[in-house]
Amino acid sequence: MDPAQSVMDVLASARADQASPELVAMVGRAGLEANLMAHMAVDVARLDDQDMAERFAFHCPVPGVHADEYKTRLLELPGNGRSLVGIRFRGLDLARPFVAVVASEALPGDQDELVAAVAELGREFDRFAPTHVRVFLPSHTVLRPDRPGQFWEKRLLVGRVRDLRAGPMPVGAERLALSEPSDDGWYARYENAFERLVARSPEYDEYTRLESHEDLAELIEAGTLFEAWIDGEWAGLVAVARDGVEGVDGYVMIEILLADHARGRGFGAGLQWRLAERLGDADQLLLGTIDARNLPAIGAATSVGRVDVGGYLWVPVAR
């Protein structure tokens, strides 16, 4: 067997075993493992792909670091066993390097094992001077960010479209309507609403980003972008794409934004409920990551039936 395929088989199986029971119930053990293999394929290929490493080094150059060092690595880590890991740059900012743990044979059993693994990764990628290690942990993990500098970044929330549709209508949803954009002013309305949100609440600039006209226009073509209206007045935009996150495939939330006059009035849950009505395949999952600090958004998602199945724990690298 191809060594790369063997690595992918072992680690995809291990990650499927590590997944939250709620996620396994929604996707199925076999389906989750197959999805994880597909999602890991690029990182496994990067173990030996020189061209890919050189492109990475070109776009994210670190002085004195050779292109070979940008390749994904398979390491034996304390408490994790064999682990597929690689260097990343948060937001492609060269000043914010971190090490991503793509998959591992086991999860750390406690903080001591976690800290030991992070120390080993810090030494392995020392020439990049990573500030953190990022690892995805299922929701039932015993590990929590209970040491200085550790934090949850994003949480992954998942629900089946048909189940969201079958749930009770959220309060206020009867006033909400969704429609596909009917004129060229849709992006200006969205951009203005986003800029007003960030100006009013600067912390949201950390939670989300302004999506490009080009990317959102593709979702209009796919029929998965909608403008929101409350009592006939423009009230926001919601968009999804067919994609996957951490072995979960389905409709991935790309944007969900309410205008100023609609925020803080409980319409977030209704917007997702109406979205579920409009999506074409009721058997698919609706999923997306939400910043762990964005408690109103997490509350709106869980209130319509999306389940927290895990999140990204960031652990600082000691210097």
Tell me: do 125 and 203 sit in the same domain: no
What pLDDT, on the 0 to 100 scale, is given for residue 202? Answer: 87
CATH number, domain of 244, equals 3.40.630.30
Token representation of residue 8: 């992918």
**Six token digits for residue 235:** 């009230």
Q: What local confidence, expressed as pLDDT, does residue 187 receive?
A: 98
- Residue 262 DSSP code: G
**Beta-bridge partner residues of 138:** 310
- State how far the alpha carbon of 194 is from the alpha carbons of 42, 152, 229, 308, in Å: 33, 24, 16, 26
* Domain final residue pick, 143, 169, 203: 143
> Does 258 map to a domain?
yes
What's the confidence (pLDDT) of residue 207?
79
Q: Are residues 135 and 233 in the same domain?
A: no
pLDDT average, residue stretch 40-63: 95
Q: Name the pLDDT band for 62 (thresholds 50, 70, 90).
A: very high
Examine the domain organization and report whether 178 and 83 are in the same domain: no
Report residue 232 as tokens: 């006939």
Q: What is the mean pLDDT of residues 218-227?
A: 97
Starting at the earlier edge strand, list the strands of the sheet with 248-258: 73-77, 81-89, 97-104, 132-138, 307-316, 151-160, 285-291, 248-258, 233-245, 225-230, 176-179
User: In the prediction, which pLDDT does 15 show?
Assistant: 96
Q: Is the pLDDT of residue 1 over 60?
A: no
* Residue 315, domain member (yes or no): no
Verify that 69 and 192 share a domain, yes or no.
no
CA distance 242 to 140: 27
Amino acid at 80: N
Does residue 179 share a domain with residue 105? Answer: no
Distance CA 133, CA 54 (A): 23
Domain end (from 119, 143, 167): 143
State both tokens at 195: 């800029």
The predicted pLDDT at position 201 comes to: 86
Kindly tell me the sign of the dihedral angle through the C-alpha atoms of 195, 201, 205, 209: negative
Torsion sign, CA atoms 136, 141, 143, 149: positive
Work out the average pLDDT over 19-35. Answer: 96
Query: Amino acid identity of 21?
Result: P
Mean predicted lDDT score pLDDT of the chain: 95
pLDDT digit string, tens, across residues 85-112 = 999 999 889 999 999 999 999 999 999 9
Mean pLDDT of 21-47: 95
Residue 2 has pLDDT above 70, yes or no: no
Q: Determine the pLDDT at residue 138.
A: 97
Domain coverage including residue 65: 3-143
pTM of this structure: 0.94
Q: Which of 85, 110, 143 is the last residue of a domain?
A: 143
Same domain, 202 and 272: yes
Question: What is the pLDDT at residue 26?
Answer: 95
As for how many domains the chain has, the answer is: 2
> Is the Cβ–Cβ distance between 33 and 9 less than 8 Å?
no
How far apart, in whole angstroms, are the C-alpha atoms of residue 290 and residue 134? Answer: 16
**319 pLDDT more than 90:** no
Enter the tokens of residue 275.
């979205």
Q: Is the dihedral of CA 173, 179, 183, 185 positive or negative?
A: positive
Same domain, 250 and 283: yes
CA distance 160 to 125: 39
3-state helix, strand, coil in the chain (%, to 5): 45, 30, 30
When pLDDT is cut at 50, 70 and 90, the band that residue 8 belongs to is confident
* Burial class for 25, CB neighbours closer than 10 Å (0-12, 13-18, 19+): exposed
Between CA 104 and CA 266 the distance in angstroms is 40
Handedness of CA 246, 11, 47, 150 (dihedral sign): positive
286/170 same-domain check: yes
Confidence category of residue 204, pLDDT binned at 50, 70, 90: confident
**pLDDT tens digits, one per residue of 138-180:** 999 999 999 999 999 999 999 999 999 999 999 999 999 999 9
Judged on CB neighbours under 10 Å (0-12, 13-18, 19+), 230 is buried
- If you write DSSP's letter for every residue of 229-257 in order, what string do you get? EETTEEEEEEEEEEEEETTEEEEEEEEEE
Q: What is the pLDDT of residue 7?
A: 80
